[in-house]
Amino acid sequence: MAERVVLMIGTRKGVFVAESAKTRRSFTLRGPFGTGVAVYSTLIDTRGTPRLYASSCNPFFGMKVLRSTDLGKTFKETKSAPAFPKDDGRALANIWALETGAGKKELLCGVEPASLFKSGDGGDSWELVPGISNHAHSRQWQPGAGGMCMHTVLRDGNRVHIGISTGGHYLSEDGGASFTASNKGVGAGFTPDPYPEFGQCVHKIAGHKDAPGRLYMQNHGGWAEWDGPGGRRPGIGVLRSDDHGKSWRSIAKGLPSDFGFPIVVHPHDPDTVYVLPLEPATRTCPGGSPAVWCSENGGSSWKKLAHGLPKKESFFTVQRDAMDIDELAKPALYFGTTTGQLWMGRDGGEDWSCVFDALPPIHCVKVATV
Amino acid sequence: MNRSGTSITIFIPGPLREYCQGASTLPSSAPNVRTALEELERNHPALHRNVCDETGAVRRHINIFVNDSHMRDRDGLETALLPGDEVIILPSVSGGREWQSV
């Protein structure tokens, strides 16, 4: 039985850990750890004794991985961080994804420039995963506005899904040994070909353990008005797959914008999915009125969840990893803004309140019950 | 080995001393900056990783001075070191720019 709710909040100035009883009436805040250094990725590893991880993207001294074994009271650097082989020619620029791997202490790490690393010892040593990192397409991937980042690493049994901006979605069906670009139906607005084989600016991919073939994708939308070669591309921003990511279809109808960054699935219902639409030009909430939008039927229709959120003059930007949902019976959603606010939406986002109002700009939010 | 075989001194900035057992200076007999960094890689790999990336390039926001001169104003990594020289590793003031972050 889960007793505590733990949040990791990665910010421009380090990582914070917030903790609450499962009532979630109030959170205590610890940190920042890795003080002054941007954190783009965190992981709460609940396999066995919980371990907390955070990337620490130091512009002076390079990338570190921080680890806590006391639920975020203290953090220490792991013995090493991912690094490309010396003769590879690439140098690590950022760490965008930390996920658990198949083995007991195995971790997976998506980085910039887009590549995947694996650790078998809880982050003390790392090795490049060549099947995707040295993929024949890898030298053709291009950086999006956030850099050429591998931000999504999603395991489903022997399948591994990778999301790259801009590279698209790649699928492995052999445990990560080899990967295939798998972007049928995933549109791109910034190339003459609206549906290229690869090179899409995927923003985030989410799945659910009870619906293993089902995936949801927040892609780079906002191309409905494009009138150049290839024609208009409405609705390419929010997509669904029912065949393990081999093909995708739009589920954006009914949303105020198909542009956004995070996409999150309800922990107990694979038909319930959440997005946070943004205006594509400003990357802020439409009309200065923030809202999470929820579909309870797998994307067939959407409803607005804004009770408790500001109604006007609030131009939030929520980045790709800055929204998550806990696993309690009535789960709460959480999102962090680049203006440093951490919001919690009880009852699956039906009732929002601001948990922290003045943190540094928030890059990522993860929650777990321990 | 530099010409006399006597030591030069490498000054380590405070944030990096945890990677060399707290030492504020390290001795070297390297004939040039490149060799001094290679010595660091052999003897203090964690420290070296903070100064250079995995391609061997000095990190963008790290400055290396030989005495009063930035190495870029001399011969870069090939800057010769002479007995009594000081090699000073310093973080620059240019590293605070926000990363592109979406």
- pLDDT, tens digit (0-9, with 9 covering 90-100), for A174-201: 999 999 999 999 999 888 889 999 999 9
Q: Is A202 on the interface with B (CB under 8 A)?
A: no
What would the pLDDT profile of A287-325 be if each residue is shown by its tens digit? 999 999 999 999 999 999 999 999 999 999 999 999 999
Q: Is B98 contained in some domain?
A: no
| B15 near A CB under 8 A | yes
The pLDDT score that the predictor gives to residue B96 is: 54
Residue B97 resides in a domain: no
Query: Over the stretch A43-81, which tens digit does the pLDDT of each residue have?
Result: 999 999 999 999 999 989 999 999 999 999 999 999 999
Q: Is residue B17 part of a domain?
A: yes
- Residue B2, in any domain of the structure: no
Q: How many domains does chain B have?
A: 1
* Whole-number pLDDT of residue A294: 98
Q: Which CATH superfamily is domain A1-128+321-370 in?
A: YVTN repeat-like/Quinoprotein amine dehydrogenase (2.130.10.10)
B98 contacts in chain A (CB < 8 Å): 12, 38
Interval A102-143: pLDDT, tens: 988 999 999 999 999 999 999 999 999 999 999 999 999 988
Q: What is the pLDDT of residue A224?
A: 87
- CATH code for the domain in which residue B57 is found: 3.10.20.30
Domain boundaries, chain A: 1-128+321-370, 142-320
Best of A61, A86, A112 to disrupt the B interface (most B CBs within 10 Å) is A61
Class of domain A142-320: mainly beta
Q: Confidence class of residue B95 from pLDDT cuts 50, 70 and 90?
A: low
Provide mean pLDDT across the span A243-272. 97
Is A40 an interface residue toward B (CB < 8 Å)?
A: yes
Instruction: Using a CB–CB cutoff of 8 Å, tell me whether B93 touches chain A.
Output: no
Q: Which domain holds residue B52?
A: 8-91
Structural domain includes residue B1: no
Query: By the 8 A CB rule, do A138 and A168 touch?
Result: no
A283·B102 Cβ contact <8 A: yes
Across chain A, what does the average pLDDT equal? Answer: 96
A61 to B15: CB separation less than 8 angstroms, yes or no: yes
Q: Is B102 a domain residue?
A: no
Q: In Å, how far is A81's CA from the nearest CA of chain B?
A: 10
Interface of B with A in 26-55 (CB under 8 A): 46, 49-51, 53-55
B residues 49..88 contacting A (CB < 8 A): 49-51, 53-57, 59-62
For residues A160-181, average pLDDT: 97
Using CB atoms and an 8 Å cut-off, which of residues 224-263 of chain A contact chain B?
261
Chain B nearest CA to A86, separation (Å): 5
Q: Is B14 on the interface with A (CB under 8 A)?
A: no
Structure tokens, A218:
């927040």
CA-based nearest distance B37→chain A, Å: 15
Domains A1-128+321-370 and A142-320 belong to one CATH topology? yes
Tell me what ipTM this predicted complex has: 0.85
CB-based contact, A24 to chain B, within 8 Å? no
pLDDT of residue A228: 78
Among A148, A142, A199, smallest CA distance to A169 is for A199
| Of A62, A196, A201, the residue nearest A145 (C-alpha) | A201
B80 vs chain A: nearest CA distance in angstroms? 25
